[in-house]
Amino acid sequence: MNMDEHTRNYLAGKNDPVMNDEKLHLLISAFRLFLGTRFHSFKDAFLGFDRDKDGVISVTEFVGHLQDLQITERRLDGEALFNHIASCSETGYLTMEDFVRWMSETATDKGQKNYESIDVDERAVMRKALLQLCERLEARCLNSLQMFRLASTMPRAYTERRADIYSLANPHRDALVTPVQLRRCIEEVLGGNPSPREMDALLSFFFPQLPLEEYRSRRDGDLEHALDLKAFQKKYHEINKLLMLSEPSKQQQQTQQRQQE
């Protein structure tokens, strides 16, 4: 009796979902986010993965470290990311030149901010702002869906002369969240009084394509930068992953301090 490939894989216990372009894109975005917030320079990032300090990163080192960091649990995913970065993946090694070249490339994917250009101080501000946002949500027992609904029902303008009936009535409630709505939700519902710089960090995280001159806008003129529920929950997942990945770094610093003492 002949079997198709799907049946053979199922019977052999190899029916895990395969890596496709969409999954690889998500993995690349998560990896760029991790590198941009964890390390101070491209060289530090490379040395962080070169665990045996031999000047190259083997595919085994790379995949193993990704699994340790919980960026991905599947070896297949790690190998796909390795092959994407390496200039000659057939060698099984990743050089510093490969790594720096890939890190230096402009992040052109939609919704992906070029985190390499953010300096250490700005990364600290963003981590603080995201952490405080999560703490305010936890204090009110709110999840990402509830926060989305809160923000999406806020008016799309501040109540001033330039506000109109359309933006105040908000016909897209429970469907989209705009920059002004997110600001009003954080300021008026969640509280916490983030500083202007922290609010800018939150806006840049949730709306990476939003021009800087629109950060202080009092009214949403259109829905160009609005997030739907799926995109909003993806951002919320990135926050949780980012905060979890920052914990090992803090623990390592504490361990090093104790050893020095």
Take residue 163 and report the two structure tokens written for it: 């506000």
**Domain assignment present for 37:** yes
**Domain assignment present for 6:** no
174 and 106, same structural domain? no
236 and 139, same structural domain? yes
Whole-angstrom Cα distance, residue 170 to residue 165? Answer: 8
What band does 252 get if pLDDT is binned at 50, 70 and 90?
Answer: very low
Domain housing 183: 120-259
Q: What pLDDT score was predicted for residue 4?
A: 58
Mean pLDDT of 241-257: 55
Distances (CA, A) of 168 to 12, 138, 146, 240: 58, 28, 21, 32
Q: Centre a 10 Å sphere on the Cβ of residue 115 and count the other Cβ atoms it contains.
A: 18
Domain final residue pick, 82, 111, 140: 111
Number of separate domains in the chain:
2
233 and 146, same structural domain? yes
Report whether pLDDT(7) > 80: no
CATH of the domain at 47: 1.10.238.10
**Domain assignment present for 7:** no
Domain final residue pick, 111, 138, 172: 111
Q: What pLDDT score was predicted for residue 245?
A: 58
106 and 124, same structural domain? no
Q: What pLDDT score was predicted for residue 171?
A: 58
**Domain assignment present for 10:** no
91 and 43, same structural domain? yes
**Domain assignment present for 206:** yes
Q: What pLDDT score was predicted for residue 170?
A: 56
Q: What pLDDT score was predicted for residue 250?
A: 47
107 and 155, same structural domain? no
Domain final residue pick, 111, 141, 163: 111
pLDDT tens for 52-102 read: 888 888 888 888 888 888 888 888 888 888 888 887 777 888 888 888 888
111: left (phi over 0), alpha (psi -120 to 50) or beta: left
What is the biggest distance separating any 2 CA atoms in the chain, rounded to whole angstroms?
Answer: 76
Strand 93-95 relative to strand 56-58, pairing = antiparallel
**Domain assignment present for 4:** no
172 and 96, same structural domain? no
**Domain assignment present for 242:** yes
> Please, what's the b/e burial string for 205-240 (b: 16 or more CB within 10 A of its CB; e: otherwise)?
bbbbebeeeebebebbeeeebbbebeebbebbebbe
What band does 161 get if pLDDT is binned at 50, 70 and 90?
Answer: very low
85 and 34, same structural domain? yes
**Domain assignment present for 254:** yes
79 and 37, same structural domain? yes
Whole-angstrom Cα distance, residue 49 to residue 60? Answer: 11
pLDDT tens for 102-132 read: 877 644 443 444 444 445 677 788 888 888 8
Give me the torsion for CA of 206, 210, 212, 218, rounded to 10°.
Answer: -90
Q: What pLDDT score was predicted for residue 174?
A: 60
174 and 94, same structural domain? no
200 and 107, same structural domain? no
Report whether pLDDT(22) > 70: yes
180 and 54, same structural domain? no
